[in-house]
Structures are given as C-alpha cells and as structure tokens.
Chain A
Amino acid sequence: MGRLTHLQALEAESIFILREVVATCERPVLLYSIGKDSAVLLHLALKAFAPGKPPFPLLHVDTGWKFREMIAFRDETAKRYGLDLIVHINQEGVAGGVNPITSGSAVHTDVMKTQGLKQALDAYGFDAAFGGARRDEEKSRAKERIFSLRTPDHRWDPKAQRPEPWRAFNTRKRRGESFRVFPLSNWTEADVWDYIALENIPVVPLYFAKRRPVVERNGALIMRDDARLPLLPGEVPQLKMVRFRTLGCYPLTGAVESSAATLPEVIAEMRASRVSERQGRIIDHDGSNSMELKKQEGYF
C-alpha cells in the first residue's frame, strides 16, 4: 500500500470487501439509506463490479418520515444507474400508527427501522447486507467487525465476534445466519466528504445550506418537511439558512445553522467544527450505551 494515498488505500480496501461478499454469499443486498455514506458506498460498488453493474439490489427501509428530497434523490439515483431498488415499509407499524412524534424516537426507530429491516431481510432471504456505517461514528461501532455475523434473529453478540486479522474474512455461516458488512468501517466523516469531492459523487441537496422552515425544539432545529409535524401553540416555522450533517427521519434530525452552500464550504465547515456529526441524531441520545443495545437487537 506504500504508494497509495490514504483515500486510495481506503477505496481499495472497500472494493475488496464488496467483492469478497459477492464472491462468498448467495444473496447480498445494499442497504441504501440515501445519505452521504450510502452515496459513497454505492459509488464504490459501481467501481468494484465495473464494467458490469453491482450484482445486488438496493434496499431502502423507509419509515414514511424521510425528507421528501431524500425520496426523490433515492428514486432518481436508482434510475440513473439502472439498479433494482426495493423499498420496504413496516406495514404493521404503519397500521399501528407508529410515528416519531407521538410514539417517541425509541419506539419509532425500533419498529420502523429495526423491525422493518428484519422483515425485509427475511422476506427476500438476503444473507448479506452492506451498510455504510463507519467506526468513527460511535463508540460501539468502533468495536464492530467489518463482517458482523448475525443470528437467524439478526441479533449481534458483542462478546462473540469473529477475529478479523489482516483482511482475511471468515465468510462461512450456518443456514439462517447472515452478515452485516461494513465496507466503510475505516472511513471517517472527513474522508467521506473528501472522496465525494474528489470523485464528484452526487449527494442529497439537504447537505447544503439553504433557507428552510425550521422550528426549535429542545435545542434542535427541526425542519417542518410536511404538515404532519404539528406546531405547538404559538410556534411558527422560521426560515433559516440551515443544512444537515446527517439525514434520517425529518422530525428526529436536527439541522445546523450554516451558510455552507457548496461542497468546498461544507468541507471547510466540517474541518472547523467542534461538534460530532451524530449530535443531530436524537436516537443516539437515549443513554451512552443506547447504540450498543439497538445493535444487539438487530439495528444496523
């Protein structure tokens, strides 16, 4: 790896991982969550299997509460590259009226994301699912393997992880077991943005500052993407120059005030930032170990 730059080394490592899964698993799928990490992951998948197309579909586990711009971008991306896109919504959750506003972030995330993901993986019989998670995002992610073996119930046991020396992955599994695979494990937020700039990768415009209607709740700026977000008495959405560092369900995703409307400005702002990207994610703040618990239950 001596002569490769660090982005080239990361790119090569990710391509190796993508190929290793396709060579050893029967039915892989790429968990496409529309954000910048998914954009990079998809871009790497396009490279890994060129001149062919990636030999797996994209799966979006929708919650019904994603930003509308995300959904439009998702559909356009699948069309642009001619890829199969599976969209799954947990219909039981919808029927039960689960939503991020009255059910709370924990229940909404569990039912619509975690349970929804398990339903989709079971329904299609996927035995390996790529995710764009990075180890620098969160402390329990930092201990996650690149090939994360899950039980037939999709559970993660942090104490029974397989050792992963070198880049030698033991890809054997029993019937019903599956892998969650994280090709971007060793990337940082800065690497992702630098690579997006270098490779000219399209991303959702929500990452760039624009005047958007937001309300301030518990210190977070929430964009009112549609009328389903009820206004509290006296609350009036304010137009503010904001952008998003991460994207999720809009009522659970805090915007940051920013004037960074171009990629170089976003990169400059990120470098100067003293706050981590997941700070805007309300679901992470249910306690220091909450991500670890969610992962044990089958969350990505």
Chain B
Amino acid sequence: MRASLKLVDPAIDAYDVADDVAPVAARERSLLRFITCGSVDDGKSTLLGRLLYETGAVFEDQMEALDRDSARFGTTGDDRDFALLVDGLAAEREQGITIDVAYRYFATDRRAFIAADTPGHEQYTRNMATGASTADVAIILVDARKGLLPQTRRHSYIVSMLGVRRVIVAVNKIDLVDYDEQVFRKIERDYRVLAASLGFVETHVIPVSARFGDNVATPSERTPWRTGPSLLALLESIEAAPAGDCEFRFPVQRVNRPDLDFRGFSGTIASGAVAVGDTVVALPRSRTTRIARILGPSGDQGRAGAGEAVTLTLADEIDLSRGDVLVHAESLTKPRRQFQARLLALGETPVTPGRAYLVKIGTAVTAARIIALHHTVDVHDYRTIPAAALEMNGIGLATLRLETDVVAADYAACQPLGGILLIDPHSNDTVALGVVEADAASRADRPRAGDGIVVALARFGLVSRDTTFDELRRRAIDAAANAGLTGLIASAATRDAELALAATCADFVLRPLLDAALGHLRSWIAMRRQNRREAGLSLDGGGI
C-alpha cells in the first residue's frame, strides 16, 4: 500500500527564493495603529467590520459565518450585523456588546492598519485605555441621534492623556437623522468646544453610516453638503508622527553574553538615535563609554533610531544590567527617585496611597509607594476632586516615591520610559497604568530655574556663588527699572518672578550663556566627527 502511495519527494529541500519577490508595497507600506472608541451602541464594532469588509479583509467563509451569526445574534434585522465580525468572545456575542479590546488587521496599498476595537461600557474603560495606549489616531464615534455623551468626554480625555494627538470624530448613524446637515454641524461644534483643552493637533469630524457605508470608503452622495475625503482615505493620509523628543534613550532589556568573546546589551531604542562611536552614559550609575557596535536584525549597522530592536556593544567593560538606560553623554536626563504620574486604576482593588506597589518603567521594576494622591479627575467635566483612593477606572494625579533610582522620562517626551505599570506585589495584578508628567514635584528633584541662573551668573563672574535667588531677583528688578521695563517689574514681583527675571537678565545672562553653549556645541560636533572617523577606521580594520 505504501509503495502505491509514493507521495513525498525523497529530497526534501527547503524552498529558496530570491529576496526580491515581495511586492514593493510590502516593503514601503507604513503602519498606522488606531483605536475606535465611544459610547455603547454607537456602532464602533460595526464601523470596524465595515472597514474590514470594504478593504477586502473579510473572506467568503467568514462572510458566510457572519450571515449565519447575524440571523442568530444580529441586532440589525435582516441585514448583516458587521459588529459580529469583531465581537469574538461568546459572552460578547450573546450580550451584543464589546467587553475586551479586539485587534483587527487590514491593509491598503498605502498603509497597513492595526485597529483596536474597544468597549463602550464604562466598566470596561480600562480595556479602552489599553487600546488607546498604542494608537497613533483615535476614531471617536458619536451617535448622530444622541450627540455627545458622557463616554465621549471620558474617552476623549483618556486618548488625550495617553498621548493621542490626532482624532477623527465619526458622527455615525447619519442615515437615521436623514443625512441632516444641521444635526451634524451642531455635533461638530459641540465636539470642538469639548476638545478645546485636550491638546489635539488635528480634529476631523466626518458624518458616516457604518451600516450602509456612507463616507466610510468613498464619499457619499447622500451628504452632498460635505466635502472632503472618506474615513478610509483620511486614515491612509493622516500623519502618524512619531511621538516624543529626539533624545537618545536605550533601556537595557537583556545582557547578551553567549560566550566569553561577546558581551552585548539588547533592547529597543525608546527615543532618538545612536551611532557607532557615540559617547554614552549608563544610568543610573553614570558610567561613560562609547558605542562599539550596533547589531540590528540584519547584522551590523552604523546607526539606529527609535523603535529599532538592536544589540549594542560598548568600548569599555562597564557594569550594566537590565533596567539601566543608556543616554548620550551630553543628555540632561537624570535618574529619579520620585515623580508625578497621572494614573488610571485598572483593578477591582482601589489604588491607595501608602500601600506597597511595584512600578515597571521601561525594563526596570522597583518597589514604590504613592506618597500623595493630589486629586481625581471627573472625566465628565474634567473637574478635579480630592480623593483618598482611586477606584477602578478612576483617573488621578499622584506622586510616587521609589525605592531605587530609575530613569523615567516625561510621557510626552518618551512613551516607553514615561508609560508605567503599577503592580500589586502580592496578587501580581496590574492595578494601574500611568503616564509620567512634568510638574512641580518632578522639578523639585532638579535644580530650580532660579538656582540655575545663579549658578550660570556665578560661572561668568557676574555674581558670587553664595548670591541668593531673592537677591538676584532684586537686582533683576533694578535692572528692569533702569531699562524702563515697568511691566516686567510688576510681574517679577508676583508669581511670574522667574519669567521676569529671565527676561530682564537676557542681556547679561543669556548672551554669555548662548555664546558658551555655542562654543560647547562646536567642540562637541568636532569631537563626534573625530569619534566617527576613529570608529570608521576600527570598523574597517576589524573586518566586521
């Protein structure tokens, strides 16, 4: 029998191909991560199902299953219920709601998309926040019949808190208000008022019908009063600017030491870029060395930027382990023991000041306590309220005190080192996520602006080192008076003292500072050039 079934090629060779067969699109297509959020029953899952359908990401057998499911669980009468394409858990399908974040994938020729479909119910806000944390863009749905709801405000606040700066408001079910422009315009106006304080750099408002596809993939003739691209076209073209500043930060993820000849530090660059030969400092212990090699996914490379997973080798044998962070030698980043963070409570047990927690920042985990809970935020009107603890889904501003020094960055500057997890050390549950914020408490760890000015002036021999800030302030006021800047005197005397001081001192503080800084920069650039040349030589010579 076996002989008659000569099925397998005796020589089983791995299939080899030339590396030029992938379509150009796959090589150059960029990636956009977005989230759909909004209130219950405003059609988030339906909209996402529609986008999948319109981009050909739903297959025939899935469509047949959808039609079967629509008949059984559907909420759209005889029509296909596109929401059932994405609501995957049994409990969700039975209840007709979304409980957990679902990730969905589709692509056009221009972009690949990862969509997070998030729950609308308030009790699942934490799942919505998880989806928002990685999003470049948020699509906030509003039911055209209902206008803005508490969840609209809540979700807008959370996407803003998590650093999303580009928002598309999809005014859905526009078919159910007879494609009425007035209804749409009112919601558009209301939303712009709501979002005024949220720091979005782009806010697009689009009328859509997820159920019938109006303005989803193509502009609809039923909204002739609106011009502009469809939702899909907007998603294809919207800028997905990488968040953060350009300072190089590299949290060490793992020491790679396969044998005695190699010792590298693996990790993903959190922000900025690095080149072979750069002088770097390992924090928190502040050891200085140079980058010897950068190993990327395809071998040695001369430089690497944010988001790249690399292994670095260093010129010197310095003590460095998981949780440490490499920065450029001239970086102002300093290890911190304390910072403020905006927290979102995720667990059933309230997050409470004084309790022992673990904090995960980048690759570092350290013991921490909340030493102050400044307030919680009422996400319906963005008011702050005093509170003793943060209940599940609650958002509040807290000061955390850590047991060891860690490198944390402000979230706006560097998400991977500014987004933190708060973990219960006993249950191991993740009880909160947080974003590190620049504020008074974290500034307390650094020199105050006033102290800096004294130091700078002393350095240039303009004042003595023991000059107090108040003395300096008096001198600044005198200088301002001499210059006839009475307005500045008034503000220097009030709470804007530091600002006024800086302004009045411009001539004899900032100019020498600027000159010194420029000189420093020139010598630094020259040094880097030199380093690069040396690194280039050693690379050639080393035959890497």
Contact = CB atoms under 8 A, between A and B. Distances in A.
Interface of A: 1-13, 15-16, 19-20, 22-23, 47-53, 68-69, 72-73, 76, 135-136, 138-143, 158-159, 161-168, 170, 172-174, 185-186, 188, 190-191, 194-195, 197-200, 202-203, 205, 207-208, 210, 212-213, 223-227, 237, 262-264, 267, 273-276, 279, 288-289, 292
Contacts of B23: 194, 267
B262 A51 contact: yes
Nearest to B363: A23
Contact of B242 (A1, A69, A162): A1
B31 A6 contact: yes
A139 B86 contact: yes
Contacts of A275: 59-61
Interface string B141-166: 00000000000000000000010000
B19 interface: yes
Interface string B87-107: 111110100000111111101
B495 interface: no
Contact of B102 (A13, A142, A205, A213): A142
A224 B16 contact: no
B59 A276 contact: yes
Nearest to B88: A139
A166 B89 contact: no
Interface residues of B, number: 94
B134 interface: yes
The B interface, classified by DSSP as helix, strand, loop or mixed, is mixed
B309 A224 contact: no
Given A6-B31, A173-B428, A19 B89 contact: no
B134 to A, nearest CB: 6
B12 A23 contact: no
A250 to B, nearest CB: 10
Most buried by A among B8, B346, B419, B429: B8
Interface stretch (B122-130, B329-337, B396-404, B524-532): B122-130
A203 B14 contact: yes
Given A9-B307, A163-B346, A185 B419 contact: no
A8 to B, nearest CB: 8
Nearest to A18: B309
18 contacts: A4-B308, A5-B27, A23-B322, A47-B298, A51-B295, A53-B258, A72-B8, A76-B14, A163-B346, A163-B433, A165-B433, A170-B430, A186-B103, A198-B22, A205-B9, A205-B12, A279-B61, A292-B88
Contacts of A76: 12, 14
A167 B88 contact: no
A135 B12 contact: no
A51 B16 contact: no
Contacts of B262: 51-52
A210 to B, nearest CB: 8
